[in-house]
Amino acid sequence: MEEQKIPTRADIPDSDKWDLTDLFADVSKWNEDVARITRTYPKITEWKGRVGESPQTLAKVLEFEKQLDLKIERVYHFASLQLAEDSANNDHLARVAQLQNLMTKVAETSAFVVPEIQAIDDAHWEKFVADPALKDWKIPLHKIRRMRPHVLSEREERLLALGAAALDGYDDAFSQLTNVDMKYGVLIDADGREKPLTQSTYSSFLLRRDRNLRKRAFKQFYYEFQDHQFTLAASLSYSVKADVFRARARNFASALEASLFKDDVPVAVYDGLINAVRGGILPLLRYYGLRRRVMGLDQLHSYDTYVPLVPEIETHVSFDEAINKVIASLAPLGQEYTRTLADGLRGRWCDRYETKGKRSGAFSSSSYHAPPYILMNYKEDVFADVYTLAHEAGHSMHTWFSAKSQLFQNYDYPIFLAEVASTFNEELLTHFLLDETSDPKMRAYIINRQIDDIRGTLYRQTMFAEFEKVIHAIEEAGGALTLEVFKGEYRKLLEAYFGEAMAIDPSLDLECLRIPHFYHAFYVYKYATGLSAAVTLSQRVLSGEPAAVEKYLGFLKSGGSKFPLETLRDAGVDMTTAEPIKSTIAVFEKRLSELEALL
Would residue 114 count as lying in a domain?
yes
Return the pLDDT at 190.
76
Residues with pLDDT less than 70, the chain: 1-4
Is 392 one of the catalytic residues? yes
Q: What are phi and psi of 364, to 5 degrees?
A: -115, 135
- Residue 179 is given by DSSP the state I
Q: What is the pLDDT of residues 518-562, one digit of tens each?
A: 999 999 999 999 999 999 999 999 999 999 999 999 999 999 999
Question: Would residue 247 count as lying in a domain?
Answer: no
Number of compact structural domains in the chain: 1
User: Is residue 40 domain-resident?
Assistant: yes
Q: DSSP string spanning 410-461?
A: HHPPPHHHHHHHHHHHHHHHHHHHHHH---HHHHHHHHHHHHHHHIIIIIIH
In a domain, 99, yes or no: yes
What is the secondary structure of 4-23 as a DSSP string? PPPPPGGGS-GGGS--GGGT
Q: Which domain holds residue 125?
A: 9-151
Whether 66 is covered by a domain: the verdict is: yes
CA distances from 23 to 161, 202, 412 (A): 34, 39, 18
Structural domain contains residue 81: yes
CA 152 to mean position of chain CA atoms: 30
Could you give the residue ranges of the DSSP H alpha helices within 195-280?
199-205, 211-227, 229-249, 255-261, 267-278
Query: 186: which strand partners?
Result: 196
What pLDDT is stored for residue 3 in this prediction? 42
Q: How far is CA 168 from CA 163, 164, 171, 175, 382, in A?
A: 9, 6, 6, 12, 39
CATH number at 49 reads 1.20.140.70
Whether residue 103 is contained in a domain is answered as yes
Sorted by sequence, the CB contacts under 8 Å of residue 307 that are 6+ apart come out as 206, 207, 208, 209, 214, 295
Question: What is the structure's pLDDT at 4?
Answer: 55
106 contacts: CB under 8 Å, gap ≥ 6 = 37, 41, 68, 72
Question: What's the length of the chain?
Answer: 599
What does the angle CA 171 – CA 172 – CA 175 come to, to the nearest 5 degrees?
A: 85
- Evaluate whether residue 45 is within a structural domain: yes
- The SS3 assignment for 243 reads helix
* Helices and strands in the chain: count of H runs, count of E runs: 26, 5
CA geometry: angle at 141 spanning 137 and 144, to 5°? 150
| Residues with Cβ within 8 Å of residue 272, at least 6 apart in sequence | 576, 577, 578, 581
Burial of 457 from C-beta contacts in 10 A (0-12 / 13-18 / 19+): buried
Active-site pick, 65, 85, 392, 426:
392
